[in-house]
């Protein structure tokens, strides 16, 4: 079901924002729109929702909560989580390390990406990071070599898992096979001060038992290899409710994980979880303006090359709300629409369907919700991997010009 709200754009008196952590702050979307009507789409953060999600995890998850920075690296999101009590951060790139280090100097960082550059490992170690993931011998050797055989490492061996019930499976790219684990576990035990197992059941995991299966698998591996471990990191994957995608309560996931840890005699090891989506998806949205309507197709000023990548590439259905400067239509009249993004590319399409009032049209704004995770953060610089360097390769004659 869609909802509408109305706002008053310029030239009426523009609301002057107060601020929240240096962001312009308003009490409603219509108020924000009235102050920011221009050619760009807008990103919205809802700090109360981020704070609430943080409390859900901090009070319910049976272990330490690492925020997966990739989900939304906005410094204000990091600060909000810190204010709520999140102290551990999962980072993947040089830029994420720098971001967390400068924004939250007291934070404990974990480099849980199984593939890292030597420069990243060296820099992270130099500023105090001791937790590193790996899933093969070469990465393990790399970590040890770059840190000069440091004796204070906490090494996390990432396990390959079967696909499971996640909407966005993360199998196939990372993770040590059953066989590889036997070689790696004893080696890493000797090299690190602490040794852990980690895995990811896939993002937006709809079935809590997938965590139990993975924890049980970890117990089998530890027993078969005869190696003692110090930690288990159950990764991310905790789901958020999207249209047509109901999810069990988060408490169910926490209980299943806690029970499974007990049943598999892991009570004495340290437990970590790395939620990304579940901590910030509902805490953010994108406001995109309708530039043109053709029948049931709406042409927006943001799309798959911006924050709506998952809506296009993964045909993900996000909740939507229409904001407009005219009387709202009755919500009952909502009809399905397809979205197009602003670029010339024909893959810049989001099939949805997205349900909006049937008279939605040019100048109205669509709030695409739950984009606090993998929306704002995906727009161009996902995971902190991008380049600001362009070089020219040309003849010496041209170089002198």
Q: Residue 52 in 3-state DSSP?
A: helix
Identify each DSSP E strand in 9-112 by its residue range: 18-20, 23-25, 42-45, 64-68, 88-91, 108-111
Instruction: Return all residues near 166 (Cβ < 8 A) that are at least 6 apart.
Output: 201, 202, 203, 204, 205, 206, 210, 237
Q: Is 370 in the site for ligand PLP (CB under 6 A)?
A: no
**Nearest distance in Å: CB 115, ligand PLP:** 11
**Nearest distance in Å: CB 320, ligand PLP:** 21
**Nearest distance in Å: CB 276, ligand PLP:** 3
Q: Residue 37 in 3-state DSSP?
A: coil
Is residue 115 a contact partner of residue 173, using CB atoms and an 8 Å limit?
no
Closest to ligand PLP by CB, 289 or 370:
370
Closest to ligand PLP by CB, 163 or 224:
163
**Nearest distance in Å: CB 236, ligand PLP:** 2
Closest to ligand PLP by CB, 68 or 184:
68
**Nearest distance in Å: CB 370, ligand PLP:** 12
Tell me the Cα Rg of the chain. 23
**Nearest distance in Å: CB 164, ligand PLP:** 12
- CA 122 – CA 117 distance, rounded (Å): 9
Contact string 271-310 vs ligand PLP (x = CB under 6 A): ---xxxxx--------------------------------
Q: Is 71 in the site for ligand PLP (CB under 6 A)?
A: yes
Strands 334-340 and 297-300: parallel
**Nearest distance in Å: CB 131, ligand PLP:** 12
- CA 384 – CA 91 distance, rounded (Å): 9
Closest to ligand PLP by CB, 164 or 237:
237
Identify each DSSP E strand in 175-260 by its residue range: 194-198, 203-205, 231-233
- CA 19 – CA 10 distance, rounded (Å): 20
Instruction: Return all residues near 119 (Cβ < 8 A) that are at least 6 apart.
Output: 94
Site for ligand PLP in 157-176 (CB under 6 A): 170
Determine which residue in the list 33, 44, 107, 112 makes contact with ligand PLP, applying CB under 6 A.
112
Is residue 69 a contact partner of residue 79, using CB atoms and an 8 Å limit?
no
Q: Is 35 in the site for ligand PLP (CB under 6 A)?
A: no
Q: Is 116 in the site for ligand PLP (CB under 6 A)?
A: no
Determine which residue in the list 84, 90, 131, 207 makes contact with ligand PLP, applying CB under 6 A.
90
Closest to ligand PLP by CB, 36 or 116:
116
Contact stretch for ligand PLP (CB under 6 A) within 10-18, 185-193, 242-250, 270-278: 270-278
Residue nearest to ligand PLP (CB): 236
Give helix 47-60 / helix 250-263 axis angle, nearest 10°.
20
Give helix 94-103 / helix 118-126 axis angle, nearest 10°.
20
**Nearest distance in Å: CB 37, ligand PLP:** 32
**Nearest distance in Å: CB 201, ligand PLP:** 9
Closest to ligand PLP by CB, 270 or 359:
270
Is residue 44 a contact partner of residue 28, using CB atoms and an 8 Å limit?
no
- CA 203 – CA 169 distance, rounded (Å): 6
Site for ligand PLP in 228-247 (CB under 6 A): 235-238
Instruction: Return all residues near 291 (Cβ < 8 A) that are at least 6 apart.
Output: 299, 300, 301, 342, 362
- CA 35 – CA 8 distance, rounded (Å): 9
Closest to ligand PLP by CB, 192 or 239:
239
Contact stretch for ligand PLP (CB under 6 A) within 13-21, 269-277, 287-295, 357-365: 269-277
Site for ligand PLP in 196-225 (CB under 6 A): 200, 203
- The size of the interface with ligand PLP (CB under 6 A), counted in residues, is 17
Name the residues that contact ligand PLP, by CB under 6 A.
68, 71, 90, 112, 170, 200, 203, 235-238, 274-278, 373
């Amino acid at each position: 079901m869609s909802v509408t709200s109305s706002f008053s754009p310029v030239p009426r008196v523009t609301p002057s924002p107060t601020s929240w952590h240096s962001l312009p702050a308003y009490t409603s979307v219509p108020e924000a729109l009235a102050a920011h009507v221009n050619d760009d789409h807008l990103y919205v953060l809802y700090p109360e929702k981020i704070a609430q999600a943080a409390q859900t995890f901090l009070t319910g998850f049976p272990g330490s909560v690492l925020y997966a920075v990739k989900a939304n690296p906005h410094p204000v999101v990091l600060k909000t989580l810190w204010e709520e009590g999140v102290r551990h951060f999962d980072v993947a790139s040089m830029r994420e390390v720098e971001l967390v280090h400068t924004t939250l100097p007291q934070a404990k960082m974990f480099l849980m990406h199984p593939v890292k550059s030597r420069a990243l490992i060296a820099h992270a170690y130099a500023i105090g990071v001791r937790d590193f993931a790996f899933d093969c011998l070469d990465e393990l050797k790399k970590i040890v070599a770059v840190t000069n055989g440091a004796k204070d490492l906490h090494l996390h061996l990432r396990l390959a898992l079967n696909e499971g019930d996640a909407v966005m499976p993360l199998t196939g790219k990372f993770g040590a096979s059953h066989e590889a684990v036997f070689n790696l576990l004893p080696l890493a035990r000797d090299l690190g001060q602490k040794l852990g197992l980690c895995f990811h059941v896939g993002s937006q995991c709809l079935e809590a038992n997938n965590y139990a299966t993975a924890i049980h698998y970890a117990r089998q591996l530890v027993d078969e290899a005869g190696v003692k471990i110090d930690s288990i990191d159950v990764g991310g994957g905790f789901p958020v409710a999207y249209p047509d995608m109901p999810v069990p309560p988060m408490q169910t996931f926490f209980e299943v994980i806690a029970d499974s840890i007990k049943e598999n005699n892991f009570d004495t090891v340290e437990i970590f979880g790395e939620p990304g989506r579940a901590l910030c998806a509902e805490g953010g949205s994108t406001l995109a303006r309708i530039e043109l309507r053709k029948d049931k197709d709406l042409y927006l000023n943001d799309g798959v090359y911006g924050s709506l990548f998952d809506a296009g590439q993964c045909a993900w259905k996000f909740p939507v709300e229409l904001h407009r400067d005219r009387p709202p239509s009755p919500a009952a009249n909502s009809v399905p629409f397809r979205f197009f993004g602003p670029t010339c590319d024909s893959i810049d399409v989001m099939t949805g369907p997205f349900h909006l009032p049937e008279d939605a049209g040019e100048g109205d704004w669509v709030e695409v919700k739950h984009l606090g995770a993998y929306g704002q953060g995906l727009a161009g610089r996902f995971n902190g991997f991008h380049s600001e360097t362009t070089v020219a390769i040309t003849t010496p004659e041209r170089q002198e010009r």
